Structure 1
Amino acid sequence: MVAVRLRLRVAYDGTGFSGWAVQPERRTVAGELAAALDRLFDPATGLTVAGRTDAGVHATGQVCHVDVPDEQWQRVATARGAGEPDPVVLVRRLAGVLPPDVRVPSVEVVDDRFDARFSAFRRHYRYRITDDPAGPPPLRRFDTLGWPRPLSADAMAAAAPGLLGEHDFAAYCRRKPDATTIRELQRLDVRRDGDVVTVAVSADAFCQAMVRSLVGALLAVGEGRRPVDWPAGLLTRTERSSEVTVAPAHGLTLVGVDYPTDPAAWASRDAATRRRRDT
Structure 2
Amino acid sequence: MAQTEHAEAQLAEVELLLSMFPSQEELEVEPVAYAELRAYVEGTADCPSNTRPELCVKIRTHTGVDVSLSCTYPSDYPSVLPEIVVRCGELSRVQHACLVSDLRLYLRESCTGEVCVLSAVDWLRDHTHEYLERDDDGAKGAAQAPSAETFTRLWIYSHHIYNKSKRKNILEWAKELQLTGFSMPGKPGVVCVEGLQAACEEFWARVKVLTWKRIMIRHREDVPLDPANQSAESLRRFDGFEEAAFDPHGNRGNHMDLGQLFQFLSERGCAQIFQMYFGVEGR
Band of TM-score, shorter chain: under 0.3
- Greater strand content: 1
Larger RCO: Structure 1 or Structure 2 (Cα < 8 Å, ≥ 6 residues apart)? Answer: 1
State TM-score, norm by structure 2.
Answer: 0.23
State TM-score, norm by structure 1.
Answer: 0.24
- Greater helix content: 2
